[in-house]
Amino acid sequence: MKINKITVGCDHAGYALKLKVIEHLKERGIEVIDVGTDSLDSCDYPAFASAVCKNIQNGITELGILICGTGIGMSMAANKHRGIRAAACSDTFSARLTRMHNDANVLCFGERVVGMGLAMDLVDQFIDTEFEGGKHQRRVDMITAIEKNESSAE
């Protein structure tokens, strides 16, 4: 599955890196929907996490990228949205495996944690890796059941 369009968002702590990620994605021929923020002014990350997640929920894009100081706050906020499987990653192995095994649809990382080169590698691993399905689908289905307040282990 080739990814053609991605929604990207950040807070003030991820703004500079977001600009580089968008440039990188465009160089790869991927259309980017930028939901902000658009400055270094202090702002609240949950609003931008919600904007990215809503685009995925509404089928506007299949994947999203969220950048804050650490990636942790963004992933916590994103995972509150139905159908979102967000992963905070700071190594390429995790970025690849979260797509392959968890069918993650949002990559989160922190500008204060990863450098520019690693950030681009995380993005590439995330968007170039496909979900394996198989036994992993059963586990993703269990996550979905938890989300729907159904039995999580049966």
**Residues with catalytic annotation?**
68, 101
Most distant CA atoms of the chain, gap in Å: 47
Compute the radius of gyration of the chain from its Cα atoms. 15
3-state secondary structure the chain: CCCCEEEEEECHHHHHHHHHHHHHHHHCCCEEEECCCCCCCCCCHHHHHHHHHHHHHCCCCCEEEEEECCCHHHHHHHCCCCCCCEEECCCHHHHHHHHHHHCCCEEEEECCCCCHHHHHHHHHHHHHCCCCCCHHHHHHHHHHHHHCCCCCCC
Torsions phi, psi for 133 (to 5 deg): 70, -145
